[in-house]
Amino acid sequence: MTRTDQQLADFQAVLFDMDGTLVDSTVAVESIWSAWAERNSIPTADVLAWCHGRNVAATITHFLPHIAPETLQSMVSAQLDQECTQLASVKPAAGGLELLIWLDAHHIPWGRRHQRAAATRARPTRR
């Protein structure tokens, strides 16, 4: 057993923050949130400054604090659906694919069953 193999023996899985680590979805995210801001008469720059790294519900309630729960749920679903379908501008992050190949070569799990994201399962799987 090599030294690297001994060091890796302690791993059971690797968890990633998906966006910015494995993929870059900045263009898609900003497009979706810009459209939302316009539909809700909120300054786009304010929404874009706030939304990155936050979940959809937190972003919506930050700008619409008195939103009815059923309206919030509808908006969250619509935003997440758009994030799952606007994939053309989502690009692999530099080195992300190479890292996943390396993890596979060393039998370190990283796949969907180990996912721990604020995102729905559909979003990370498609990206």
5-to-52, 100, 103 alpha-carbon distances in Å: 37, 17, 12
User: Given 5, 10, 19, 81, which residue is catalytic?
Assistant: 19
pLDDT in tens, 8-60: 666 677 777 777 788 888 999 999 999 999 999 999 999 999 999 899 999 99
Residue ranges per structural domain of the chain: 13-126
Q: What is the pLDDT of residue 6?
A: 62
Q: Which amino acid is at 115?
A: Q
pTM as predicted: 0.71
* Residue in 5, 10, 17, 24 annotated catalytic: 17
Per the model's pLDDT, the better-predicted residue between 35 and 1 turns out to be 35
The identity of residue 42, as a single letter, is I
State yes or no: is 19 an active-site residue: yes
Let me know if 10 is a catalytic residue.
no
Contact 61, 67 (CB under 8 A): yes
* Tens of pLDDT, residues 62-100: 999 999 999 999 999 999 999 888 888 898 888 888 988
- Residue 83: name the closest of 38, 25, 36 by CA: 25
**Structure-model confidence comparison of residues 73 and 115, the more confident one:** 73
